[in-house]
Structure 1
Amino acid sequence: MLPKIPKGFITNFPQAVPDFISPRQFVFLLATVAIFILISTFFLTEQIIESREKQANLTSFIDKFKDETELLGFSSSLWKNSFNKNLDTASKEKDPQKQFEAFNSNFTILVSMYSASHDSKVRVQAEKLTQFIRKEFPDQSKNQNFAIFCLDTDCGQPNYPAVITDVVELLSNTEAIDQPVLDDVLKKLEAASISSDSGTQWDNYLNALQILRAEKNRTENSQISEAVGLLGEFLQENFAQNWSQMEKYFPESVKI
């Protein structure tokens, strides 16, 4: 126990040290505590600085990203409202997991928009968001699939199979299809011919076939009917397993 020192009395410091601790040991103990406090303060300061930098990066990205995506022209008000709500959540939320979930939801929205529109501007924004998520949320994103398959001519060139070239030519030479419908079909055939992913190819070819089949029934046009036949045979030969599954579970969807 340290000796009691009268108030205002200046004492020789070593004499205030317990007998079982030498002055040298006491100085070493104080130095150790001081170093521990210094290291703890350093790491705490580093964490605070890192947290502030992360928040600053997040705020800067969201502000710029919101301005850029505002120009995309959302085809659905539901998508747009959800997209903006997710950005607001990410900017206000302090929990990294919830921030990640908000950004990830917006990635899904952008990919859905791109799959529907094949607009390169949407793809570019989806790619920017992917890069940001992977950089700022490495732990949460390491097991996530952020694949964006190319569906537009800014990132790839169509490689039409011979049969699809014939289908495109038939459709281009008929006036029976309304132009917006024709553009949609041609866009899907183009996307299927650009993509290297078989699932993406199948989805776009099948969507084109279903649109053409509806136009065939509406117009009874011989060129459209021929195009439907060619495209249907092409899918049966080149996507036999997918076709078989559709015939088994959704026969009406592949009825030619």
Structure 2
Amino acid sequence: MKLLGKVAIVTGGAQGLGRGFAEGLLRKGAKVCICDINSATGLATIGSWNKEFGAGKSMFLKCDVTNHDQFEGVMKKVIKEFGGVDILVNNAGVNGEEPDTWRRTIQINMIGVIEGTMLASTYMDKTAGGRGGLVVNIASTAGLTPIFYAPVYAGSKYGVVGYTRSMAANPSARETGISYAALCPAFTNTQLFNKTHSAQKEIKDEILNQVSKVVTDTGIQTVADVVNGFLLLVEADSNNGTVMAVSKQKGIQYINKRRRKPQTNKL
């Protein structure tokens, strides 16, 4: 996809990977709306972008991705202000494994992604007046391999990968003009990673040593490393059903072959 003049929505875009994805799109000439629950950081981000990219190229809207009405309101507002939506990046995510946090992890990481994807399937559908485009669901390498110390988080990311591939396999994808792809970053130097890694210090020493070894062996990449993979994925001519992993250790990897033709599996 050529990004010049395209319109994108990035959830969880006020900071971290979301901000990185949005900045990458802006540098390619796209217009971007970031939505986030953190209004102060979101507005500050837009203020800096107005100086760097010019006014009218970006906007911020407060949104909880688990709230259907708020999320739909973002979609409608962006279409009204920017004329349409070509790219939706379902990036908002959290990590919580405790009795009082694990449900929120599923709600944001999995249900929020489904909510956004369904809205995109409605408002971007060419057969219903949309412009077609691409939905990029941000999963994790935790959605590709078992993570013993974060089973809820891993489960939510496995769900994102499976859901995205299943949406891409729908025979109607060609008619709607919408493609679906998943991006799976490994450990990345973001506020979410640092917060999660700090919390792990409270677990047993034996387990902590195993976790530390996993992190050390995999390596911690920069946001820029992930953004490079993200832009390669978005700009590809054929990306429906693509699952891309990005890690410090192995770089950019395509986990499955990209295909537009749906695949039929026997259960």
Same-fold call, TM cutoff 0.5: no
Structure holding more helix per residue: 1
Higher-Rg member (1/2): 1
Structure holding more strand per residue: 2
The TM-score, its normalising length taken from structure 2, stands at: 0.33
The TM-score, its normalising length taken from structure 1, stands at: 0.34
| Higher RCO (Cα < 8 Å, 6 or more apart) | 2
